[in-house]
Structure 1
Amino acid sequence: MSELEQNLIFNKWLAQHKALLFKVVRSYARTSMDQDDLFQEIIIQVWHSIPSFRQESSNTTWIYRIALNTAIKWVNKERKHTHTNQPLEHLQPILFESVSQIDERLTWLYEEIYKLDEIDKSLSLLLLDGFSYKEMATILGISESNVGVKINRIKKQLITKSKQQDYHGI
């Protein structure tokens, strides 16, 4: 593959999937500086992966998998380099580009998703983006039945917590 072909594919994919990448970035990185760093890391990984893309899955599935794997590795790397004892949930959330668009329940939901472990967080994001159980299983490397079990547990957990917040379910 020539560099020109790779560049064309990269620009097309980036234009098509920028919102998806930002959603992953916002779910794994809290500060704008960290979000910029993670976004850059993800697009570098997408660029390097283009020649190895075999079209066995959709490019959306491929990119999502790269983004999630890169984000998880980035979080683990950042934890090793962070010397603060302050829990992340106490940092101000940066979920949307415009503060005026924030819906309290949606903010709460993303805060709760942020607190989940990496697999559950990834499943939640994939579910919100409308991926099928089969696609989720492929992206995360787990069985479809495991996807279903985990999603049901996550839903029950979030519904219980939302009732405690007087949101009467999500």
Structure 2
Amino acid sequence: MLDENQKSLFMTWLGEHGSSVMKVARAYTLNSEESQDLAQEILLQAWRSLPNFEGKAAPATWFYRVALHTAMNWHRKDKPRRSRQQSLVEVEAVATEGFDSAEQVQQRDIVEQLYKAIHQLPKTDAALVLLYLDELSYREMSEVLGISESNVGVKLNRAKKALSELMKGPSHVP
């Protein structure tokens, strides 16, 4: 693939699927700076992987696969430093206090609890939940994760149950 064609294709796909990069980056990080760093790492890996794209999967599936694999590797390598940092949602909550209606605060609290619960799931389950939240079909999820559609269903049901239990934990207010 020619360099200009590659750049054009990458920019098109980035415009179409870039939001998935940010969603994955946010789910695997604790603060805004880390999220930006991971997103840049994902984009770098996607750029490097583009010449190897064979067209066997849809561009969205390919982007997700690169994003999830990069995030899981990054998460594993960077765990000691991250354990000493404050969560992104905690920082956001402090920064926006006093500017939201009660309903917005409640919604943000639910999202915060969801991300905290997702962080507690095994990383493959967290990846599956992210794909589900992004409304991918079972077929698309199976392509991204490299597992069968029936396995997606089984694993997703288990992940949902685990997530539900985590959301019911002591930090959840009914």
TM-score range, shorter chain: 0.7 to 0.9
| Contact 1:24-1:71 within 8 A present in 2 as well | yes
Structure 1 residues 85 and 54, CA gap change in structure 2 (3 angstroms) = closer
Q: 1:110 and 2:110 equivalent?
A: no
Structure 1 residues 104 and 55, CA gap change in structure 2 (3 angstroms) = same
Cα deviations across residues 42-91 of structure 1 (Å, max 9, x unaligned)?
11111112222121111000000000000011111113xx26865x7xx2
Secondary structure at the aligned position of 1:68 is classed as: helix
Task: Look up the match of 2:23.
Answer: 23
Task: Please identify runs of 4+ aligned residues in structure 1 that moved more than 4 A.
Answer: 83-86, 98-102
| Contact 2:68-2:127 within 8 A present in 1 as well | yes
Q: 1:144 aligns with which of 141, 149, 154?
A: 149
Structure 1 residues 48 and 83, CA gap change in structure 2 (3 angstroms) = closer
Rounded to whole Å, the distance in 1 between the matches of 2:126 and 2:145 is 11
Secondary structure at the aligned position of 1:160 is classed as: helix
Structure 1 residues 56 and 163, CA gap change in structure 2 (3 angstroms) = same
Q: Which runs of 5+ in 1 are unaligned?
A: none
Rounded to whole Å, the distance in 2 between the matches of 1:166 and 1:92 is 19
Q: Which runs of 5+ in 2 are unaligned?
A: none
Query: Identity over the aligned pairs, expressed in percent?
Result: 39
Rounded to whole Å, the distance in 2 between the matches of 1:119 and 1:52 is 24
Rounded to whole Å, the distance in 1 between the matches of 2:83 and 2:111 is 27
Task: Look up the match of 1:124.
Answer: 129
Task: Look up the match of 1:12.
Answer: 12
Rounded to whole Å, the distance in 2 between the matches of 1:163 and 1:84 is 25
Structure 1 residues 146 and 77, CA gap change in structure 2 (3 angstroms) = same
Rounded to whole Å, the distance in 1 between the matches of 2:155 and 2:33 is 32
CA drift of 1:136 comes to 1.1
Q: 1:42 and 2:29 equivalent?
A: no
Question: Structure 2 counterpart of 1:155, which letter?
Answer: K
TM-score scaled to structure 2, two decimals?
A: 0.82
CA-based RMSD of the aligned residues comes to 2.3
Structure 1 residues 166 and 36, CA gap change in structure 2 (3 angstroms) = closer
Secondary structure at the aligned position of 2:136 is classed as: coil
Number of residue pairs matched? 161
| Contact 1:93-1:111 within 8 A present in 2 as well | no
Task: Look up the match of 1:78.
Answer: 78
